[in-house]
């Protein structure tokens, strides 16, 4: 590694950390307002989530025509999605196309991890250091580091002793993995596990699924996207995007529910759920009634409907019962979408092991051992998730010359203003940070909203000759209280999910997303911008410049 003290710092207007959808769009928008930008990405390519998660069956759970950028009409008209819910290779192809089409790569340094970021209060600038020993200084730092980008392998005793192959869903080998003729164990039954299990089952000689918590899953009802169906959508694309912006989840095409669950008779409710089950998709299902995520009684009707489906699908009654979730209301964890998940447990080569009643004790040279017995395995797949929402941000040592440290500030859980900015950390922005709707929405829609807001804000500051913006402590506290209040008015906090950090031993239990809806959140953000960002502490104007005059390096 080069001597850090000797490394020459290059200055840009904005550093962007990450080149997933958030980083890509941030580069594009920053350039549009004439700012120089340098993005730094740990991976060797663009795409973020879709670069790293290459496991079999990985695909989106929001329909591709919605889970895609809306900022360019030409892009959305030209791009052809092969399936209703497209697979990882197609989404990665799309991310690469966006990078090429908008000439974004020249602003990205790949294969490089940002290790620290320090704000100099005197100069109003960030110094960013990387795993390669580079140093950059920047007026603004934008964390597009992703909510689900720090994979987590549980700290099992004996992992090093295991003689077979092991994989994590989010660190999947680019050349793929051949499971033919192998005895495979999959640990984890979240969205990733549920997507990969049916496909691994088709290859492996034996597949053992180690389940700690049963999860709800509804059918994707995936299908090829015909040119006719895509054409109908594209004929009204702009209107559909506008409609999506006015919805809580950032997804158009689903009529909002009008009734509470108990307003329907049992028969009518079953018909509604049956119709939603047949349509496919999680939004469609959770949009059955207005109160599914607010009333435990209403939720139980939907939860029980899915349990009945599981019992009707899985032939072995013991396995079926084990697959029936009973510890959280449906939808309070991200509702999984599957392609034949429950049916997979009818295969002779697949077995389900309950590691809640008999936890995994250790990995052994030949497999793993639970408190009850040993399992011989050739391959182990960890579908064990992420240190979500805060992990990637806290992985960077973020400090200021005034003595603030983000790790210290967030010791008892994340605190931010709007999920966008953090008191005591001027000129730092988070994209889809904790305290924003982010993971409770169509993330591409949430990303576009955030990036637009941040870049519009920076352009405003530049016009006003202001070089510093900072969240105010009391305003931040009020926002955190509001996020909690809204969360507590729903069933969400009842689930031991990664939304509350429950999957990481010792992580403070805080419900992190803002669940009032992307539409309401957008209105709040727009109002703040419209009022000149007065809820922030702004630096003193130093004489206005135009956007173009302000540009230094065309990065
Ligand atoms: P990411 O795509 O996670 O990109 C962040 C990038 O930052 C990564 O490439 C990472 O390498 C880089 N990075 C992080 N820290 C550093 C550092 N210190 N230095 C340098 N680089 C760094 N959301 C939906 O709405 N619908 C879906 O269907 C959906 N499906 C998903 C499927 C999977 C398997 C997963 C894991 C998530 C899914 N999500 C989905 C959520 C998904 O993460 C978002 O939709 C979206 O892709 C996030 O984009 P991003 O750019 O914010 O973050
Ligand atoms: P996840 O939802 O956190 O699931 C992790 C699984 O691993 C859980 O079943 C968990 O059990 C289990 N696990 C963790 N540690 C364990 C241990 N020590 N022993 C036994 N089991 C253990 O992670 P994910 O499936 O990767 O999904 C994360 C998020 O990414 C999703 O919620 C979704 O937002 C997104 N995603 C979306 C899609 C999609 O459909 N498009 C696909 C993949 C991911 P517990 O529940 O008991 O902790």
> Do 351 and 400 belong together in one domain?
no
> Do 540 and 518 belong together in one domain?
yes
> Do 455 and 329 belong together in one domain?
no
How far is 83 from 461, CA to CA, in rounded Å? 42
CATH code, domain with 427: 3.50.50.60
Residue 13 lies in a domain: yes
- Top mutation candidate among 63, 191, 285, 328 for ligand 2, by most atoms within 8 Å of CB: 191
> Do 368 and 266 belong together in one domain?
yes
> Do 433 and 330 belong together in one domain?
no
Residue 33 lies in a domain: yes
Residue tagged 């497209």 (tokens)? 86
How far is 199 from 135, CA to CA, in rounded Å? 44
- Residue whose Cα lies nearest atom 9 of ligand 1: it is 48
> Do 109 and 176 belong together in one domain?
no
Residue 234 lies in a domain: no
Residue 233 lies in a domain: no
> Do 277 and 218 belong together in one domain?
yes
Report how far ligand 2's centroid is from the alpha carbon of 160 (Å): 23
Report how far ligand 2's centroid is from the alpha carbon of 194 (Å): 9
Residue 235 lies in a domain: no
> Where a domain ends, among 382, 415, 435?
382
- Return the H-helix or E-strand segment holding 342: helix 341-344
> Do 393 and 372 belong together in one domain?
no
Q: Is 385 in the pocket of ligand 2 (CB under 6 A)?
A: yes
> Do 266 and 132 belong together in one domain?
no
Report how far ligand 2's centroid is from the alpha carbon of 152 (Å): 10
Domain span at residue 106?
Answer: 2-150+388-547
Residue tagged 């449906």 (tokens)? 330
> Where a domain ends, among 364, 382, 400?
382
> Where a domain ends, among 349, 364, 382?
382
- Return the H-helix or E-strand segment holding 184: strand 183-187
pLDDT at position 58, please? 98
pLDDT at position 546, please? 46
* 108 SS3 class: strand
Q: At what angle do helices 237-245 and 518-530 cross, to 10 degrees?
A: 80
- Top mutation candidate among 38, 48, 442 for ligand 1, by most atoms within 8 Å of CB: 48
- Ligand of minimum distance to the alpha carbon of 52: 1
> Do 401 and 502 belong together in one domain?
yes
Q: What is the pLDDT along the chain (555 residues), one digit of tens a residue?
A: 444 444 578 999 999 999 999 999 999 999 999 999 999 999 999 999 999 999 999 999 999 999 999 999 999 999 999 999 999 999 999 999 999 999 999 999 999 999 999 999 999 999 999 999 999 999 999 999 999 999 999 999 999 999 999 999 999 999 999 999 999 999 999 999 999 999 999 999 999 999 999 999 999 999 999 999 999 999 999 999 999 999 999 999 998 899 999 999 999 999 999 999 999 988 889 999 999 999 999 999 999 999 999 999 999 999 999 999 999 999 999 999 999 999 999 999 999 999 999 999 999 999 999 999 999 999 999 999 999 999 999 999 999 999 999 999 999 999 999 999 999 999 999 999 999 999 999 999 999 999 999 999 999 999 999 999 999 999 999 999 999 999 999 999 999 999 999 999 999 999 999 999 999 999 999 999 999 999 999 999 986 554 443 333 322
- Top mutation candidate among 17, 19, 20, 286 for ligand 1, by most atoms within 8 Å of CB: 20
Q: Is 222 in the pocket of ligand 1 (CB under 6 A)?
A: no
Residue 84 lies in a domain: yes
Q: Is 18 in the pocket of ligand 1 (CB under 6 A)?
A: yes
> Do 414 and 533 belong together in one domain?
yes
> Do 373 and 416 belong together in one domain?
no
DSSP 84: S
| Total number of domains constituting the chain | 2
Q: CA 107 from chain center: how many Å?
A: 23
Residue 552 lies in a domain: no
Report how far ligand 1's centroid is from the alpha carbon of 20 (Å): 6
Longest dimension (CA), the chain: 74
Report how far ligand 2's centroid is from the alpha carbon of 80 (Å): 30
Q: CA 484 from chain center: how many Å?
A: 20
Q: CA 324 from chain center: how many Å?
A: 25
Residue 184 lies in a domain: yes
Q: Is 437 in the pocket of ligand 1 (CB under 6 A)?
A: no
């Amino acid at each position: 590694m080069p001597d850090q003290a000797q490394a020459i710092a290059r200055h840009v207007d904005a550093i962007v950390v990450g080149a997933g959808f958030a980083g890509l769009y941030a580069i594009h928008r920053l350039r549009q307002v004439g700012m120089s930008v340098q993005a730094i990405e740990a991976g060797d390519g663009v795409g973020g989530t879709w670069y790293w998660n290459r496991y079999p069956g990985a695909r989106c759970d929001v329909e591709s025509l919605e889970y895609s950028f809306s900022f360019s009409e030409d892009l959305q008209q030209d791009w052809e999605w092969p399936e209703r819910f497209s697979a990882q290779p197609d989404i990665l192809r799309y991310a690469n196309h966006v990078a090429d089409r908008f000439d974004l790569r020249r602003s990205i340094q790949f294969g490089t991890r940002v290790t620290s970021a320090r704000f100099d209060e005197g100069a109003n600038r960030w110094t960013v250091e990387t795993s390669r020993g580079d140093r950059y200084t920047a007026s603004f730092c934008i964390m597009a580091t992703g909510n689900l980008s720090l994979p987590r392998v549980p700290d099992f005793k004996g992992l090093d002793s295991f003689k077979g192959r092991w994989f994590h869903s989010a660190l999947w080998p680019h050349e793929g993995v051949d499971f033919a003729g192998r005895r495979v164990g999959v640990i984890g039954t979240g969205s990733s596990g549920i997507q990969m299990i049916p496909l691994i089952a088709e290859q492996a000689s034996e597949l053992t699924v180690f389940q700690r918590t049963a999860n709800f899953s509804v059918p994707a009802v995936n299908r090829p996207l015909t040119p006719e169906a895509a054409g109908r959508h594209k004929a009204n694309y702009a209107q559909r995007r506008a409609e999506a912006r006015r919805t809580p989840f950032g997804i158009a095409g689903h009529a909002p529910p009008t009734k509470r669950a108990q307003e329907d008779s049992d028969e009518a409710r079953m018909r509604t759920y049956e119709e939603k089950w047949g349509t496919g998709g999680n939004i469609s299902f959770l949009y059955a009634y207005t109160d599914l995520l607010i009333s435990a009684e209403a939720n139980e009707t939907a939860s029980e409907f899915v349990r009945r489906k599981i019992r009707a699908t899985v032939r072995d009654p013991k396995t079926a019962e084990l697959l029936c979730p009973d510890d959280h209301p449906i939808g309070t964890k991200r509702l999984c979408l599957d392609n034949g998940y429950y049916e997979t447990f009818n295969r002779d080569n697949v077995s389900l092991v309950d590691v809640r009643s008999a936890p995994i004790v250790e990995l052994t040279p030949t497999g793993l051992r639970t408190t009850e017995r040993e399992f011989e395995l050739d391959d182990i797949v960890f579908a064990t998730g992420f240190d979500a929402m805060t992990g990637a941000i806290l992985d960077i040592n973020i400090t200021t010359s005034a003595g603030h440290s983000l790790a210290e500030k967030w010791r008892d859980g994340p605190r931010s203003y709007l999920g966008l900015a953090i008191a005591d950390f001027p000129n730092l922005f988070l994209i889809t940070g904790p305290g924003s709707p982010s993971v409770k929405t169509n993330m591409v829609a949430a990303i576009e909203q955030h990036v637009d807001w941040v870049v519009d804000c920076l352009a405003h500051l530049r016009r006003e000759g202001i070089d510093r913006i900072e969240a105010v402590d009391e305003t931040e506290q009020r926002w955190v209280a509001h996020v909690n209040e809204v969360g507590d008015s729903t069933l969400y906090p009842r689930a031991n999910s990664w939304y509350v950090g429950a999957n990481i031993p010792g992580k403070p239990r805080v419900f992190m997303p803002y669940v009032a809806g992307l539409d309401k959140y957008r209105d709040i953000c727009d109002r703040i911008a419209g009022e000149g960002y007065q809820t922030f502490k702004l630096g003193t104007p130093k004489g206005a410049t135009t956007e173009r005059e302000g540009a230094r390096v065309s990065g």
